[in-house]
Amino acid sequence: MSNSVSVANENGVAIVTIDNPPVNALSFHVREPLMQALVALRDDAEVAAIVLACAGRTFVAGADITEFGKPVQQPDLRAVVALLETIAKPTVAAIHGTALGGGLELALGCHFRVANTGARLGLPEVKLGLLPGGGGTVRLPRLVGAVKALRIIVSGTPVGAQEAHGAGLVDAVFEGDLTAHAVNFAREIARKGGPFTPVRDRDDLLKETDLATFDAEVVDLARKARGLEAPIACAQAVRNAVTLPFDDALAAERALFVTLVASDQSRAQRHLFFAEREAAKLPGKDTPKRRIGRVGVIGAGTMGGGIAMAFANGGFAVTLLETSQEALQRGLGMIEKNYTVSVARGSLSEDAKRDRLAQFKGSTDYADLADCDLIIEAVFEDMAVKKEVFGKLDAIARPGVILATNTSYLDINEIAASVSRPQDVLGLHFFSPANVMKLLEIVRAEKTAPDALATVVDLARRVGKVAVVVGVCHGFVGNRMLAARGSESEALLLEGATPGQIDKAFTDFGWPMGPFQMGDLAGLDIGWRNRKARGLTAVISDTLCEQGRFGQKSGRGFYLYEAGARAGVPDPEVEALIREKAAERGIEPRAIGADEIIERTLYPLINEGAKILEEKIAARASDIDVVWVNGYGFPIGKGGPMFWAGLEGAAKIIERLEYWHQRTGKDVFKPAPLLKRMAETGSWDGSAAA
């Protein structure tokens, strides 16, 4: 046998064990020996049943994603599953950890599946811009019904063992020694005798499918797909399982898979899968980490409360500090209200809510932070206020405690220089709402110690955040590029584009919302305050704020919000204001198309990303993609701004930037040298063409 597949025999029950760390991906060096083992066991009269299990922390987590885009080495997954279904003796998949993608499809080739209580089973291919390409779209509906299969496949969200058992995907759930239970299960099944029907021949559930209900669900999914092709293909493949003979449906699945795997969208989403994992890697193997028990959060406002919840949700004890009892109670009240909403929505149990609230201690006395191992301040965005807070922390925190600031813009090197322990200071820039948004920009200051950095990168993973390590500059990576993206927004308004046209160009591109919808949602006063602090102006936004039009929270911003409405409607007063300000500047309005809107917003975004790479504020172009997809909703089907630059063509971007630079003289359009090198080499790291 090979190192990746071994076979044991327990009194006539064969145990085939896959061992391909870290997640037992179905690489070619697994598939080949697996196929050989199954053929031998199929023909071995001494073997009454076969158990398929995995070593390590999980059952097969899928096909080997690194093999995509390369020539397929036979046997492929479909051939292994087809072989499994030629075996007349009972076959049992023993699932622990996660059976995902090709892993679940392999298990569907078995007659039976058993799982331990903590196991999760899913088909997440849609998150890679794919569909299950190993028969999952044709076999899963035969076990759980077409509508349930549609939801599992299009959401890509795994289901737990108990839910899988209830749905008919799993035949038994065990505590304790899964392999032993699986062997006993297989032996008992063999004793009772067959025949054992392979999944491909089970059509009863399919006959119950109400296609009208199914199709209605697909219409809703298509609306949410926002231009992504994979969810639609998944739905089509599941529908084929209902309407076509098995082999025809399988062939149709393959055709859809081959198209998707070569698509830009899937390449973009696979890029993001690896980019997120790469972003969490620091130079220097296995840097020691500091122990983090209790976390202190200073400021119980929107950000502080959200940050405190993020850590409580991750199982940490939290001390929340405010300047007064009234402010503290308001903050704790908001946290309790948020958990109550989650319970009402069914995403949190009452017990879990109680346990999380028990994690909190409130105080107005800095001395109560003395037992914290990490302290994060989320106070008013003002350097003097931040320095005052850090001065107090310097006085009370134990040596080795990590002192973090949640600032969005301010110079963390200056904050670090104000305390006696700059090596313990760094930035933890959360995105609002901090208990929901995945992105965490971890800001490495000049003197931040490597172990402090390694500690918070590991901590980010433990609280379910996607961490990107960035350097110190105004706005770090995300907000600095956001400023570049937004620098022309008002110019476009004054030249004739309406807020609705600009926002539509963005949503047609795939963004969840456009810049004016986002400004109204976040509150226009935030940008207004930042501009005033830096002596900058934006005539339309400033005027709206002076009129008290802060956006959704005041019922009026760029749009009008009827009482409580989330979606705004165009406001003739705003459009009149824009025309008035344009006229004052002698600007003759003209029709502006979506292409120009994208060129003048997203090309400067990419250009600023190139400058950030040149300045080493971000270590990798893919880190910038991770920031923008997880912090700002950049469409995953385009892979992030820097990946999309490759699809769009750096030469075209440069040509258009130079056009607008020549026409406006604005620096934001002056192509960065690295963007020009990207056009020559095809890659952001300046190496040979990718």
- Minimum CB separation of residue 520 from ligand T1G in Å reads 35
Identified binder of ligand T1G from the candidate list 90, 109, 129, 132, rule CB under 6 A = 132
Site string for ligand T1G, 92-111 (x = CB under 6 A): ------x-xxx--x------
Q: What is the DSSP letter of 242?
A: H
Among candidate residues 32, 67, 105, 495, the one labeled active-site is: 105
**Any catalytic annotation for residue 10?**
no
Q: Which of residues 25-44 bind ligand T1G (CB under 6 A)?
A: 25
- Least distance in angstroms from the C-beta of 258 to ligand T1G: 11
82, amino acid identity = A
Q: How far from 608 is each of 506, 599, 651, CA to CA, in Å?
A: 19, 14, 16
Q: In what order do the strands lie in the sheet with 439-443?
A: 360-363, 317-321, 294-298, 374-377, 402-405, 425-430, 439-443, 466-470
Residue 495 is among the residues annotated as catalytic for this protein: no
Binding residue count for ligand T1G, defined by CB under 6 A: 25
Query: Is the sign of the CA dihedral 267, 241, 248, 95 positive or negative?
Result: positive
Q: How far is the CB of 461 from ligand T1G (least distance, A)?
A: 7
For residues 330 and 688, what is the distance between their CA atoms, to the nearest angstrom? 56
For the CB of residue 331, give the shortest distance to ligand T1G in the complex, in Å.
32
Among 10, 32, 85, 125, the active-site one is: 125
Nearest residue (CB) to ligand T1G, 105 versus 377: 105
Q: Is 141 in the site for ligand T1G (CB under 6 A)?
A: no
Give the integer Cα–Cα distance in Å for 3 and 58.
17
Strands (E) in 12-127, as ranges, are: 13-18, 49-54, 91-95, 98-100, 112-116, 120-122
Q: How far apart are CA 605 and CA 675, in angstroms?
A: 12
520 binds ligand T1G (CB under 6 A): no
Output the CA–CA distances (angstroms, integers) from residue 644 to 53, 243, 625, in the order listed. 40, 38, 9
Please state, in angstroms and rounded to a whole number, the distance separating the CA atoms of residues 677 and 551: 41
250 binds ligand T1G (CB under 6 A): no
Residues 252-291 that bind ligand T1G (CB under 6 A): 274, 277
The reply to whether 129 sits near ligand T1G by the rule CB under 6 A is: no
* In the complex, least distance from residue 524 CB atom to ligand T1G, rounded to whole angstroms: 38
According to the binding rule CB under 6 A, does residue 462 interact with ligand T1G?
A: no
For residue 311, CA distances in Å to 17, 307, 356 come to 38, 7, 10
Q: Which of 35, 48, 65, 328 binds ligand T1G (CB under 6 A)?
A: 65
Q: Measured from the CB atom, is 472 or 626 closer to ligand T1G?
A: 626
Residue 653, classed as helix, strand or coil, is helix
Q: By CB under 6 A, what part of segment 480-509 binds ligand T1G? A: none
Distance between first and last Cα of the chain:
37
> Which structure tokens are listed for 533?
């602090």
Q: Residue 619 corresponds to which amino acid?
A: A
Nearer to ligand T1G, 285 or 585 (CB): 285
CB of 61 to ligand T1G, least distance (A): 4
The mark string for 45-64 relative to ligand T1G (x by CB under 6 A, - otherwise) is: ----------------xxxx
Residues that are catalytic: 105, 125
Return residues touching ligand T1G (CB under 6 A): 22-23, 25, 61-66, 77, 98, 100-102, 105, 124-125, 128, 130, 132-134, 136, 274, 277
